[in-house]
């Protein structure tokens, strides 16, 4: 039986291949970490939404030549992580 990490790596590879993104390097732990910050700092459904938007922004930046894939992804994830943490700090406590 495969571990969760092995399953995620296999899934990531299969999805990248299906989307014709072979050779793209994804840091699964960073993506999951960002999802965790969004889930705990905003609300749980913010996790997939945040990672999708960060990936979309990175893809646009990279696709238009603004930065390399790695720099684009790191920057987008950094902005998303910072904003989620700030959102939690500014949210009114009930």
Is 3 a domain residue?
A: no
Whether residue 50 has pLDDT greater than 90:
yes
Is 22 a domain residue?
A: no
Q: What band does 90 get if pLDDT is binned at 50, 70 and 90? A: confident
Is 48 a domain residue?
A: yes
The residue segments making up the domain with residue 67 are: 27-90
Each residue's pLDDT tens digit, 5-49: 999 999 999 999 999 998 889 999 999 999 999 999 999 999 999
**Helices 28-41 & 4-18 angle (0-180, nearest 10):** 100
> For residues 2 and 61, what is the distance between their CA atoms, to the nearest angstrom?
35
Angle at the Cα of 13 from the Cα atoms of 11 and 18, rounded to 5 degrees? 95
Q: What is the pTM of this model?
A: 0.88
Is 63 a domain residue?
A: yes
When divided into structural domains, the chain yields a total of 1
Is 14 a domain residue?
A: no
Is 67 a domain residue?
A: yes
Is 6 a domain residue?
A: no
């Amino acid at each position: 039986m495969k571990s969760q990490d092995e399953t995620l790596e296999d899934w990531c590879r299969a999805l990248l291949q299906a989307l014709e993104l072979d050779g793209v390097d994804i840091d699964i732990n960073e993506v999951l970490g960002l999802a965790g910050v969004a889930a705990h700092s905003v609300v749980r459904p913010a996790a997939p939404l945040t990672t999708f938007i960060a990936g979309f922004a990175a893809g646009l930046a990279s696709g238009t030549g603004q930065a390399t894939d790695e720099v684009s992804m790191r920057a987008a994830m950094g902005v998303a992580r910072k904003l989620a943490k700030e959102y939690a700090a500014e949210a009114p406590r009930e």
